[in-house]
Amino acid sequence: MAESILVVDDDNYIRVILQKRLSTAGYNIRVAVDGVAGLAAAKESQPDLIISDWTMPNMDGLELCRTIKNDEFLRYAYFILLTAKDTQDDKIEAIEGGADDYLTKPFNDRELMARVRAGLRIGRLQKEISSLQHEKAVTELAVTLGHEINNPLGIMMLMLQVIQRKDNAVPLSEIQKEIETCLTNGKRMAEIVKKLSTLESPQYKPYLKNSGTNMLDLSQS
């Protein structure tokens, strides 16, 4: 599937030029006439890269950039700010505002395409890293649950099997020990779940020596 690019500019000539050039290069292009329309289009299409003019009515490009970078679903979109502003202070303001790149008007076609290709490569890497981090977190949680809950759960199951094997006529007092063991281990599991749900700054420890796999350290909770 072709990567998607959103072009946001209140100048119709610039929009048309960029749309034609980027479409010819094989990208899916969407355009918007200002920052407000650009934000709505970004939320709907979740583009891989955004090229936005800085000076626009309603919402300028820098405000759009800040909003995009603060949105958990859009923050990985590579943002190129396109503007006639060319002072050192302007460039610093753009980068501090979250822009990934800065291109001045009038722009060179080859430079534009080089920056677009570079931006899309960086965007792909960011998404891959995010995916790997997510997979790592899921693995660590699964290992933690398996390690911490497996033992008390196993004991509970064993005690229930002991109770099941006893004659139905056995008085409650004779299985009280098994019941208390089940309750104790049930409380252990409840405490583990509570610790997991209240973790604020997770700490990790090796699951097995030299295994390369970590698990959450619940002893710090």
Report residue 105's pLDDT band, with 50, 70 and 90 as the boundaries: confident
Cα separation, 90 vs 39, whole angstroms: 22
Question: Has residue 207 got a pLDDT over 70?
Answer: no
Residues 72/46, Cβ–Cβ less than 8 Å? no
Arithmetic mean of pLDDT, 106-118: 90
Mean pLDDT computed over 134-141: 68
| CA nearest neighbour of 71 among 91, 42, 100, 50 | 42
Q: What is the mean pLDDT of residues 128-144?
A: 69
Per mean pLDDT, which range of 70-84, 120-134, 176-190, 192-206 is the poorest?
192-206
Mean pLDDT of 50-65: 93
pLDDT value for 53? 93
Q: How far apart are CA 158 and CA 150, in angstroms?
A: 12
pLDDT, residue 5, reads 95
Selected residue with higher pLDDT from 137 and 108: 108
> Mind listing the domains of the chain with CATH numbers?
4-107 (3.40.50.2300), 134-220 (no CATH)
Strands 204-206 and 214-216: antiparallel
| Closest C-alpha to 213, from 146, 127, 129, 128 | 146
- pLDDT for 140 equals 72
